[in-house]
Amino acid sequence: MGYVLVFDRVANAISKAHPDLGRGFALQGVLVEPNLYLSFSRNYPGIEHIVSQFDQGLAKVRTSGEYARIEARWR
């Protein structure tokens, strides 16, 4: 096989589960950098408080370095 398009996490999982197959993978480039979005309904009761709690929690995990550790674990 010449080339195959695969998510890096899928390739990593295959490499771990089947090292013989994983040796054949070589990153050639990045096609897409996906973004993740979270949305909330403005009509949900108490949403301002929920969004505030989410923002505060996200700020804490970023400041502590936990966000970077989680992100690194999934790369």
Q: Mark whether 13 and 23 lie in a shared domain.
A: yes
pLDDT tens column, 14-53: 888 988 887 777 777 777 777 878 888 989 999 999 999 9
Q: How far is CA 9 from the centre of its chain?
A: 9
Q: Mark whether 65 and 40 lie in a shared domain.
A: yes
Q: Mark whether 42 and 23 lie in a shared domain.
A: no
pTM, 2 dp: 0.52
pLDDT of residue 64: 96
Which of 3-7, 11-15, 18-22 is the least confident region? 3-7
Whether 17 contacts 10, CB under 8 Å: no
Q: Mark whether 70 and 40 lie in a shared domain.
A: yes
pLDDT of residue 19: 86
Encoding tokens for residue 49?
Answer: 């408080």
Residue type at position 66: E
The boundaries of the domain holding residue 56 are: 35-75
Q: Mark whether 51 and 28 lie in a shared domain.
A: no
Q: Mark whether 2 and 25 lie in a shared domain.
A: yes
| Nearest one of 1, 54, 51 to 26, comparing CA atoms | 1
Task: Give dist(CA 20, CA 75) in Å, integer.
Answer: 21
> Total domain count for the chain?
2
Indicate if the pLDDT at residue 1 is higher than 70: no
